Amino acid sequence: SRHVASVTSDRSFLPPTPPPGAVNSQLGAVGPPARESSAAAQDPGGRATSSWGWRPLIAFIVGGFLAAAGFGASQLLNDPEPTQEIVAASAPVRSESSASPPIVVQPPDVDTTDPAAFVAQILGPSVVQVEVPNVGLGSGVVFADGLILTNHHVIAGATNSVAVRTADGRVISGEILGSDARTDVAVISIGPDSGIPVAQLGSSDELQVGQLAIAIGSPFELQQTVTSGIISALNRPLFNGVGLNAMIQTDTAINPGNSGGPLADRSGRVIGLNTAIQTDGVGNSNIGVGYAIPIDTALNIAHRIAAGEPLVAGFLGVAGDQAADGSSGVEVTEITPGSAAASAGLQIADRIIGLNGGPITSLEELAGLVQTQFPGDEVELQVVRDGETLSLTAVLGER
């Protein structure tokens, strides 16, 4: 299902409340949808919007459907008196005619020793505003010739096309090639003759906590807004109402309208796709906790969309929990017969401490990483068995 929300437009929809146990005991699976919460909060325009009634709550920032993080070892935390809330957020679509002549502004001389100014100059022309009539708007970035990367929730209210507003003020028509609600990625085609430069792309594997992170997008319809901060954490598990994903956490200011826009490093390379913010339950804008889809994940999905390939999530086939002695990692409590985990030789009581060389600290972190892979992908599991560390190769299956 697709969930579209527009706090500052005329339509507002929220996804269903994830019930306890929404992440079921076998990685790669998400439980059935549950009822809508009856809780409500006020949006900036004074309209009431639903909340999910559990903590912590996340706002998918623009046009947006919402998600929440904060899972228990094998189920979502469920708090009858939440202190945070999910807020849908969307900037209104411009009402002026799209036929207005473009305004061309020459960029000033930039001191390349100032990273934010440098990134604004070299990446800004590749960032666009994505407008869905009568729904809202978000952001996007040109990642290949004639192709725009954005969020699924930005275009979820559209039919087959959207309006794309370029950095120099032109408005062109974009065709939606496809989208994936599970990872919240979408691809828009504008053709090879758009004149919009392709952004330089980085790698999620090279990211470090504490490094500079710069966002460009259209918060509150303020096109080409540049904000900066740092990467606060990596592989944060985030449930978006459909799937569980491993995200970049950042304190870079992102707000309604930034969704789908790029998060970049100090060299102007795109390292993530801004997607969600966490709120305090009072306001619905930035409080310093935002989330971006790692660029490697976004590109993997985008290339499959462009090629018309299937988007089924990979499946490992284990259930687990924190080790009884408090050790880090995930202690395996159940293995699905015939699954990737079984074929790899994983055993009950094994403790998974790493995936592809990166640390695993919780079940939800492992699930988020697995679900961004595809059937047939190989993953390396670092496992502790009887005090000995082993490396096992698993070829992910399909649930």
The reply to whether 377 belongs to the active site is no
Rounded CA gap, 375 and 377, in Å? 6
- Burial class of residue 33, CB neighbours in 10 A (0-12, 13-18, 19+): middle
Rounded to whole angstroms, how far apart are CA atoms 51 and 59?
A: 10
Pairwise CA distance, residues 369 & 148, whole Å: 24
Decide if 329 contacts 346 (C-beta within 8 A).
no
Q: Which of 9, 50, 218, 259 is the catalytic position?
A: 259
The helix (H) or strand (E) run that includes residue 305 is helix 295-307
* Annotation marks residue 303 as catalytic: no
- Identified catalytic residue from 184, 265, 296, 350: 184
Nearest to 250 by CA among 209, 217, 298, 216: 209
Place of tokens 């290339």: 303
Judged on CB neighbours under 10 Å (0-12, 13-18, 19+), 350 is buried
Q: Which of 126, 153, 179, 180 is catalytic?
A: 153
Can 259 be counted among the known catalytic residues?
Answer: yes
* 7: Cβ contacts below 8 Å, ≥ 6 apart: 43, 44, 45, 47, 49, 87, 88, 89, 90, 256, 284
Is the dihedral angle over the CA atoms 141, 146, 149, 155 positive or is it negative? Answer: positive
Query: Are 131 and 94 within 8 A, CB to CB?
Result: yes
Q: Which helix H or strand E contains 320, and what residues bound it? A: strand 318-321
The residues annotated with a catalytic role in the active site are 153, 184, 259
